[in-house]
Amino acid sequence: METVSENRSHGGTQGVYRHKSTATGTDMTFSVFVPDHEAGAKLPVLWYLSGLTCTHANVTEKGEYRAACAKAGIIFIAPDTSPRGEGVADDDAYDMGQGAGFYVDATQQPWAPHFQMRSYIEDELPALIAEHFQVDMARQGITGHSMGGHGALTIGLRNADRFASISAFSPVVAPASVPWGEKALSGYLGEDRAAWRAYDACTLIEDGARADALLVEQGTADQFLEEQLKPELLAEACANANIPLTLNMRDGYDHSYYFISSFLADHVAWHAERLKA
């Protein structure tokens, strides 16, 4: 693991790191904020998955989470959204290819050789984090934004025994039913919609996935709200499955990091309550 940068911030260390991924076959970059802590102490972890066109840098530079994480004693990890580099398949559109991995393990060409983001986020990167940082892997939470909100919900629901807390900002809750998701899932996984169900929060819940609680933040001025996000579908699925869902519709907020940074500290505190020893 290569250290790209480390900086002191809010009584902790904000680092950016790079490593050679076996899952994607490429170099992958991620950021980690570690609050100061007693030697030997292991801290809980909050994963943050970013949205379309983003890298680890968006939330690292704009998220305003460090003070809250330092107060709560939580390690904050932000991976990249896709494999990148020469020889990695791409698309001219922003919603497919590099920067748009959708947190799936692709089965279709030309994506399958590198776009194994589910395996990277669920298996490879956690093992690397556990090796190099003082983390308590028995206390993990996950959150994310937009495409990353979709990733947080689906990864959290598929691994409910691992994640004690799941939240999301402006998530794509039903990708199998909206243009972004239909394009990505058909491209990465093929036309068999049965293969899509593991990557759709609403169908996962329909198929029996459960969580103790979900927290979702959504701006009412979000330009993608009606066509791509459809939080009402998640509300319906959770109601049918008796999953407690807190859906905060924030008046006047859009899809940007102005919105995320306004409420990310609240989410850190919400996760901290659920990640207590």
Q: Could you list the active site residues?
A: 146, 222, 255
- Helix, strand, or coil (residue 225): helix
Structure tokens at 234: 């998640």
Whether the ω angle into residue 110 lies within 30 degrees of 0, i.e. cis, is: yes
Sheet holding 12-20, edge to edge: 2-9, 12-20, 27-35, 75-79, 43-49, 135-144, 163-169, 214-219, 245-250
CB atoms within 10 A of CB 175: 26
The residues pairing with 105 across neighbouring beta strands, listed in sequence order, are 116
Cα dist. 121→70, 154, 198, 245 in Å?
24, 12, 15, 24
